[in-house]
Structure 1
Amino acid sequence: MGTKMRIGINCLSFNSSQRCGAEEVIKNLCKGFVYNGHESELIFFCYKSMRDKLVSICPNAKYVVLDERKNPKHSILSNIYIQTLKFHKIYLQYNLHVIFFASAGIGLFNYKIPVIVLPHDIQHVSHPEIQINKGRLKKLIYKNCHKLFYAIDFTLANKIIAISNTDKNEIIRYYPKLSNKVKCIYNPIDISQEYNIENEKGNYIIAVNIQYSHKNIIILIKAFEIVHRELPDIELFLIGQESECTQKLKEYVIEHHLEERVHFPGYI
């Protein structure tokens, strides 16, 4: 029998305060590894908060837990520090065949083994106008800083995973010299979960992850406003942690007298 792969999965971009779609992607990916019998080949590099979540999915994987207390917010610069100095000091100890980075930000140094990165999107570069609501100069600085950080990641990586053809085309548009590295692989989803909705009655539309302006939830609300004229019993639930963006959505709902039909239950 051949030697088993030793797959390093770097989850150091996830911290205890995050509840995001990228985290769900890595959880569902791990379910796939378990289902296909590759759980014992995985070595996770993460913080304790992420380890606790993953152990319930992959109890037989190996976990390398780093200290989270010094880096609670995970800004771009703190993530570069973690990946470049902390992770680079330890990854060679585990005789890995490949490293998979579960999000962008892989550090500044070359790796001695193949690297795969999943940036999820490059909207900071492709659509900076919906990421930051400040002056033109700040938007330009914001865009170019992120463009540089992605360029470093994509140059150091052997493969780049795009989550859609649109995402793939945007990566190739801004980094054409690296186009041969990009592969479109859709996000894994878990369709095995069952929910008991037998006692629930009503007509609902639900949207999640509403706290970011680039999700364009305001268009959904405006569309709902039109639909509601024809379907007066329908309701809209906007789920997610609240932010400055959420407050603007609430203001629109109040101004257009939709309070009884558009609901903000917060994070669920």
Structure 2
Amino acid sequence: MTNIQKKKIVFVLLSLEGGGAERVIINIIRHLDNRLYEVFLILFEAKGPYLSSIPGYVNLYDLKKTKSGLFSILKIIFSLIIIFRKIRPNTVVSFHNMANVITMISRYLSFIKCNLVIGIRHYFHEDLIKSFNVLNLFLYKNLFKYANCIIVNSAELGKHSAQFFHIKHDKIKVIYNPIDFENINNLKNEYLGTLSSDQFILAVGRLSHEKGFPYLLKAFSLIKEKIHENLVILGKGPDEEMLKKMASDLDIKERVLFLGFQSNPYKFMRNARIFVLSSLYEGFPNVLLEAMACGAPAISTNCPSGPGEIIENYNNGILVPTADEKALAVAMLNLLKDENLRKKFSLEGSKRVEDFSIEKLMSQYEHLF
């Protein structure tokens, strides 16, 4: 049998904390043929719930970042240069704004020739831009265009990125986030615990501004007297205490359950009466696809970017305007009261997400490698 020269692929991430980009990378790694690819994963910090999901054949590098600041960044760049020169990869893939910048600088200073693929995973909303310091924004807008390829996870985000970063359209590749149905099906039937099946509204996401949870809490407060379902929120983040106080102020504290990050959200999705995404902006909402894959009837804001490319309004879900608690409340109440509509959304939603199976999308990733 002829020996096949494996292609060397290096993935660079900040960590494996519980975000959408991290799940995407792990899904890609797990579905790459290790007979054809030698896979390396470099983490600035080897932490996060997805560490246990790394296949045994992956070469893991932990850069042990413990501090912030210029010295820490320079140390990471130096470490990456050494690793790149040692591995001599065919392709380097990075999926995070700051990781993209550091990876690009390190690749350049290592004097190696390789294909550099970066991922832009979210819409650069005005509020997000304001959070960047001047140097970071300068680096993002002036370095990203030098990558060989930029992967975006929605067509709308591709148009936005081309304009915002002054990137040529032929460098941008739209590849939707892949869904690992096998993994979801293996986990969704786990025991739910003390929660009653089909008796709660579910929301999942980082507890931060862009997810729009205040509008969800306000919407729930508007219909609380008309429904018996409670609201379950999965996730952690900087706004947790503010949201809990808001629930108390709205007199819904006893009916809103903040259950933190869950390594298996699918058992909640399978048992939820409805699923709600209240985001102000997204890159591409994995969690919406995953909920629909579990059969949860879905409502989402029509935020930039992604939901409008997943949901066909009132065919496989409901789209509502962003930052509009009244419209969200009406949609939630209507769906909770209409069993036939829930059954329709559950069936049609499950069909829609088949287009995002990892088996269908892996060939697009492999073409870049």
Q: Do the structures match in fold with TM over 0.5?
A: yes
Local SS of the residue matching 1:222: helix
| 2:241 equivalent among 243, 247, 258 | 247
Residue pair 2:145, 2:166 contacting (<8 A) in 1 also: no
Residue 19 of structure 1, CA deviation: 3.1
The 1:25–1:82 alpha-carbon spacing in structure 2 relative to 1, beyond 3 Å, is farther
What does residue 87 of structure 2 align with?
94
Local SS of the residue matching 1:260: helix
Gap regions ≥5 residues in structure 1: 133-138
CA distance, structure 2, for counterparts of residue 172 and residue 19 of structure 1: 28
CA distance, structure 1, for counterparts of residue 234 and residue 79 of structure 2: 36
CA distance, structure 2, for counterparts of residue 78 and residue 188 of structure 1: 36
Task: Please identify, of 46-55 and 246-255, the stretch whose mean Cα deviation from structure 2 is larger.
Answer: 46-55
CA distance, structure 2, for counterparts of residue 116 and residue 144 of structure 1: 24
Question: Would you say 1:260 and 2:254 are equivalent positions?
Answer: yes
Residue pair 2:15, 2:43 contacting (<8 A) in 1 also: yes
Local SS of the residue matching 1:117: strand
Question: Would you say 1:158 and 2:148 are equivalent positions?
Answer: yes
Residue pair 2:117, 2:150 contacting (<8 A) in 1 also: yes
What does residue 319 of structure 2 align with?
none
TM-score (norm 1): 0.77
Residue pair 1:9, 1:44 contacting (<8 A) in 2 also: yes
Local SS of the residue matching 2:56: coil
Task: Please identify, of 197-206 and 247-256, the stretch whose mean Cα deviation from structure 2 is larger.
Answer: 197-206
Cα displacement string for residues 165-218 of structure 1 (whole angstroms, at most 9, x for unaligned residues): 232122112123433211111122222233235874342122222321011111
What does residue 211 of structure 2 align with?
215
Residue pair 2:11, 2:40 contacting (<8 A) in 1 also: yes
Local SS of the residue matching 1:7: strand
Local SS of the residue matching 1:44: strand
Local SS of the residue matching 2:240: helix
TM-score (norm 2): 0.58
Residue pair 1:114, 1:158 contacting (<8 A) in 2 also: yes
What does residue 181 of structure 1 align with?
171
Question: Would you say 1:10 and 2:12 are equivalent positions?
Answer: yes
Q: How many residues align?
A: 246
Gap regions ≥5 residues in structure 2: 263-369
CA distance, structure 2, for counterparts of residue 235 and residue 78 of structure 1: 48
CA distance, structure 2, for counterparts of residue 218 and residue 52 of structure 1: 27
> Between Structure 1 and Structure 2, which shows a larger proportion of helix residues?
2
The 1:171–1:52 alpha-carbon spacing in structure 2 relative to 1, beyond 3 Å, is closer
Local SS of the residue matching 1:41: strand
| 2:41 equivalent among 41, 44, 47 | 44
What does residue 172 of structure 1 align with?
162
CA distance, structure 1, for counterparts of residue 179 and residue 36 of structure 2: 18
CA distance, structure 2, for counterparts of residue 234 and residue 20 of structure 1: 27
RMSD: 3.1
Aligned residue type for 1:182: I
CA distance, structure 1, for counterparts of residue 255 and residue 190 of structure 2: 24
